[in-house]
Amino acid sequence: MSAPSHIVVIGAGIIGLSVARALLRDGHSVTVIDRDPAGDKASFGNAGGLGVTEILPAAAPGLIWRIPKWLADPLGPLSLRPAHLPHLLPWLARFLRSGTAAETTRIAGALAALLAPVYDDMLSLLEELSLTTDLHRVGALWVYDTEAGFQRDAPAHAMRRRHGIEVETISAAEARRLEPALAPMSARAVVTPQWSHVSDPKRIVDRLREQLLARGVAMLPLEATGIEGRAVVTAQGDRVAFDTLVVAAGAWSGRIARTVGDPVLIESERGYNATLPSPGVTLSREVIFAERQFVATPLAIGLRIGGAAEFAGLDAKPNFRRSDALVTLARRYLPDLDPRGAVRWMGHRPATPDSLPVIGRSRRRGDVVYAFGHGHLGLTLGPTTGRLVADIAIGRAPSVDLSPFSVARFA
Ligand SMILES: Cc1cc2nc3c(=O)[nH]c(=O)nc-3n(C[C@H](O)[C@H](O)[C@H](O)COP(=O)(O)OP(=O)(O)OC[C@H]3O[C@@H](n4cnc5c(N)ncnc54)[C@H](O)[C@@H]3O)c2cc1C
């Protein structure tokens, strides 16, 4: 094992901060660089779910045939800005390749292994932050509008069961007994008891950042533009020296990896939500509207209706009509929903085409470690990723086979 050293982490989202925490535990001195450490980010406004059942790649078999219908529907889950299409094509080509039966099986195995220790790692973090009561281990309810939609998901649920994930099929009437606020319009439902949600993802990230500051982590409000020798170069003209660098800059990480010489396929899969402070309905668990691809999570700050996948790049302005569309859709399922005071939000999911994060060393430099690309699972996988990166940094054998997550797959 190597000796503790000075480690710079780029990114103060849930991934970067979890990495910083794990490195600190190993005795390293840690500096975090973020253009706005306490500013808005995907890690704040996400749906708050610990999706430990989510082992299937987004490019599920058969998905391609549903894309035209989704794109044509103004309330649909997918949108694409035409100007972004040329940039997206290489990512899209790789995305479609990830939907074959063989790839789905391989990816599901890799994600199942990575997700297995999530609760151990998350509970350890929440205990340290005195936030254990913010974790609600009450499962999730998936509702299906049609029998056909339920049957379409059957192979995915079968794959989950093969990996030991509990998926219980229940009737629509039982679903309404669990969540009486639901309109009587679902055909089928399933319950995934291992799913859980938190009271407010932002509260976890804020408290973690404050605790790290109190424990001596330097948090520099700088924008990294590249790497020269053993220093991060910033837009402000500073050079921040490191022994080891961890890139945990969410959807922006590809830009930094390219300056190191590692090609990466990563896109911003822009997601939207609306948080309703006085929703007028009560849900006791996260509800997943499986065919419409959106969720409703009962957070401490209100009911968060979230979803959508918009491919428009990192710099286009948000289209908050997508948040409004989610509320319109949710009112079909939750007729008493009160949308007044809705807070609209957009965030950048760091999406790789194979739905696997990048966790591991650069191909070009032994002193650069990557921790990004967590897509829909960044909150879920934050503390686990932190622990694995600390293992890499100090030369300890990681508890999970990290080869499926190597950046080399994009070479
Ligand atoms: C609508 C929506 C719903 C979601 N729901 C869930 C959910 O229920 N469960 C779940 O597990 N996940 C969910 N996610 C995904 C999750 O939010 C992300 O995977 C996760 O937040 C990514 O964390 P991160 O730390 O990698 O990135 P971020 O939170 O985006 O943080 C990256 C940080 O890097 C900084 N940065 C970037 N570039 C630079 C640079 N050059 N120099 C300095 N700083 C830089 C940014 O300022 C930012 O602070 C959801 C996402 C969205 C959008």
For the chain, list the domains and their CATH numbers.
6-410 (3.50.50.60)
Is the Cβ–Cβ distance between 158 and 96 less than 8 Å?
no
The C-alpha atoms of residue 130 and residue 369 are separated, in whole angstroms, by: 30
Is the Cβ–Cβ distance between 405 and 357 less than 8 Å?
yes
The C-alpha atoms of residue 82 and residue 312 are separated, in whole angstroms, by: 8
Is the Cβ–Cβ distance between 355 and 63 less than 8 Å?
no
372: Cβ below 6 Å to ligand 1? Answer: yes
Starting at the edge strand that comes first in sequence, how are the strands of the sheet with 196-198 ordered? 49-50, 196-198, 135-136
The C-alpha atoms of residue 308 and residue 14 are separated, in whole angstroms, by: 21
The C-alpha atoms of residue 90 and residue 311 are separated, in whole angstroms, by: 13
Tell me phi and psi for residue 352, to 5 degrees. Answer: -90, 160
254: Cβ below 6 Å to ligand 1? Answer: no
Find, among 372, 33, 362, the residue nearest to 224 by Cα. Answer: 33
The C-alpha atoms of residue 56 and residue 197 are separated, in whole angstroms, by: 19
The C-alpha atoms of residue 280 and residue 206 are separated, in whole angstroms, by: 28
Q: From the CA of 260, how far away is ligand 1's center (Å)?
A: 21
The C-alpha atoms of residue 111 and residue 119 are separated, in whole angstroms, by: 15
Q: From the CA of 259, how far away is ligand 1's center (Å)?
A: 21
**Residue appearing with tokens 């099929």:** 169
Cβ partners under 8 Å of residue 93, min gap 6: none
42: Cβ below 6 Å to ligand 1? Answer: yes
The C-alpha atoms of residue 240 and residue 257 are separated, in whole angstroms, by: 17
Find, among 34, 37, 29, 35, the residue nearest to 7 by Cα. Answer: 29
Q: From the CA of 336, how far away is ligand 1's center (Å)?
A: 32
Residue-level pLDDT at 129: 98
User: What dihedral angle (degrees, nearest 10) is formed by the CA atoms of 43, 215, 121, 379?
Assistant: 0
pLDDT, one tens digit for every residue, the chain (411 residues): 888 899 999 999 999 999 999 999 999 999 999 999 999 999 999 999 999 999 999 997 777 788 888 888 877 788 988 899 999 999 999 999 999 999 999 999 999 999 999 999 999 999 999 999 999 999 999 999 999 999 999 999 999 999 999 999 999 999 999 999 999 988 899 999 999 999 999 999 999 999 999 999 999 999 999 999 999 999 999 999 999 999 999 999 999 999 999 999 999 999 999 999 999 999 999 999 999 999 999 999 999 999 989 999 999 999 999 999 999 999 999 999 999 999 999 999 999 999 999 999 999 999 999 999 999 999 999 999 999 999 999 999 999 999 999 999 999
Amino acid identity of residue 13, one-letter, is G
Find, among 189, 190, 207, the residue nearest to 198 by Cα. Answer: 207
Residue of 9, 33, 35, 269 to mutate, ligand 1, most atoms within 8 A of C-beta: 35
Residue of 208, 349, 355 to mutate, ligand 1, most atoms within 8 A of C-beta: 349
**Residue appearing with tokens 């056909």:** 148
Find, among 264, 293, 218, the residue nearest to 24 by Cα. Answer: 218
308: Cβ below 6 Å to ligand 1? Answer: no
Q: Is the pTM of this model over 0.95?
A: yes
Cβ partners under 8 Å of residue 333, min gap 6: 143, 182, 183, 185, 186, 287, 289
Find, among 4, 10, 6, the residue nearest to 26 by Cα. Answer: 4
Is the Cβ–Cβ distance between 272 and 326 less than 8 Å?
yes
15: Cβ below 6 Å to ligand 1? Answer: yes
349: Cβ below 6 Å to ligand 1? Answer: yes
374: Cβ below 6 Å to ligand 1? Answer: yes
37: Cβ below 6 Å to ligand 1? Answer: no
77: Cβ below 6 Å to ligand 1? Answer: no
The C-alpha atoms of residue 21 and residue 222 are separated, in whole angstroms, by: 20
Pairing of strands 29-33, 218-220: parallel
51: Cβ below 6 Å to ligand 1? Answer: yes
11: Cβ below 6 Å to ligand 1? Answer: yes
User: What dihedral angle (degrees, nearest 10) is formed by the CA atoms of 89, 289, 287, 122?
Assistant: -20
Q: From the CA of 248, how far away is ligand 1's center (Å)?
A: 9
The C-alpha atoms of residue 92 and residue 309 are separated, in whole angstroms, by: 13
Return the residue whose CA atom lies nearest to atom 20 of ligand 1. 378
Is the Cβ–Cβ distance between 20 and 32 less than 8 Å?
yes
Q: From the CA of 256, how far away is ligand 1's center (Å)?
A: 15
Is the Cβ–Cβ distance between 242 and 350 less than 8 Å?
no
197: Cβ below 6 Å to ligand 1? Answer: no
SS3 268: strand
Residue-level pLDDT at 43: 98
How far is CA 111 from each of CA 38, 63, 81, 163, 220, rounded to the nearest angstrom?
30, 19, 30, 10, 33
| Ligand 1 atom nearest to 379, measured from its CA | 11
SS3 93: helix
| Ligand 1 atom nearest to 372, measured from its CA | 26
Please count the other Cβ atoms lying within 10 Å of the Cβ belonging to residue 236: 11
What six digits make up the tokens of 271? 């997601």
Q: Which residues are paired to 244 by β-bridges?
A: 7
